[in-house]
Amino acid sequence: MKKNLLFILAVIMLAIIPLFIQKDSDFGGADGAAQEAITEINAGYEPWFESFWEPPGGETESLLFVLQGAIGAGFIGYFIGYMKGRKGKEDKEGKTKYASNR
């Protein structure tokens, strides 16, 4: 249990430390590239709606994106592990049932 907590803490630190080390960094993404492409095609394009909250910087936006992906990956990993454990338990119970009938 202690190893898991240290591992989780290390992962969190790896996500947070670069935000303090790399000041004034601008990591471009697909949203910026798409906006540039749309502007080149149609300079008068008006977006349909605006975001209700704008993150304070590009780093924060990237952090939130990564956290969203990590939470999703954690959920998927948990679900797959749960289903595999459940199947293993069912297989084990099935083998013991048949073994006791002989």
Task: Give residue-wise pLDDT tens across range 32-60.
Answer: 788 889 989 988 888 888 888 887 887 88
Q: Give the whole-angstrom CA distance, residue 74 versus residue 69.
A: 8
- Judge whether residue 67 has pLDDT over 90: yes
- Judge whether residue 102 has pLDDT over 70: no
Taking each continuous run of H as one helix and of E as one strand, the counts in the chain are: 3, 0
Q: Could you give the angle at the alpha carbon of 46 between the alpha carbons of 40 and 51, nearest 5°?
A: 115
Q: What is the pLDDT of residue 95?
A: 67
- Judge whether residue 97 has pLDDT over 60: no
pTM: 0.45
Extract the tokens encoding 34: 């798409």
Domain range annotation of the chain: 57-102
Q: What is the pLDDT of residue 88?
A: 85
Mean pLDDT of the 18-29 span: 72
Q: How far is CA 9 from CA 21, 32, 66, 86, 102, in A?
A: 18, 32, 16, 29, 51
Helix runs in the chain, H state only: 2-21, 30-41, 58-101
Mean pLDDT of the 53-75 span: 88
